[in-house]
Structure 1
Amino acid sequence: MLTCNFSLTYFIVSGEMETSRVPCYLLIKDTEGLSVMTAWAAGKFGADTIGKFVKNSGIAGKVNHRKLIIPGYASMESGGLEEELSGWEIMVGPREAAHIPAYLKQFKP
């Protein structure tokens, strides 16, 4: 699962992931502390920068699948990410963090 490094977003998303009790990794993209939508508008959370971040993160060596959950508010980047991350399935997660536990419980890697 991917999100930005806006502190409130990080703490809420990580807390909801823990609540789900579904083992998963959380990739935190440096957006200079901006929220997902603000970072997207500023060009800091687009397919090109996310693609490079994921490739450099080393996550591919830690998971046995190629699925990336992106924030619901970044859904417009899913097509570009499929081009940037060839072989990865880009999944659009919920817009609200409160829906993360239910979303993760139905996730099948």
Structure 2
Amino acid sequence: MHTVLDHDYFAPLVGKSLPISSQGKSIGELKLDAVEVLPKHNRHQGDDIRPQPFSLLFTSAPELRMNQGMLDFALSNDRMESIFIVPLGPAPDKRWKYEAVFN
């Protein structure tokens, strides 16, 4: 059975630290802080088959600073997904913030 990666899929993962890797090499973890539903674009209103846009907001440890790009996230014991993240900068506590947008 194919599971859709939508905001409902990620909601139970909020507050969890997700292991990340790139090209098979473990990098560390990103904590999923929030799943935010985004408004649909005007051209996609109505009975459209496109899913609801949403974003994921993450934080990392202060020493884990990454550029934008694809990372492999271990979403469960048997599920790995590649997600494109964009750095948003450091928070006041010096932890790095990142965002992934699904639209």
**In which range does the TM-score fall when normalised by the shorter chain?**
under 0.3
Q: Which has the higher contact order (CA 8 A, sep 6+)?
A: 1
- TM-score between both structures, scaled by the size of structure 2: 0.26
- TM-score between both structures, scaled by the size of structure 1: 0.26
Structure with greater proportional strand content? 2
Structure with greater proportional helix content? 1
Which protein shows a greater Rg?
Answer: 2
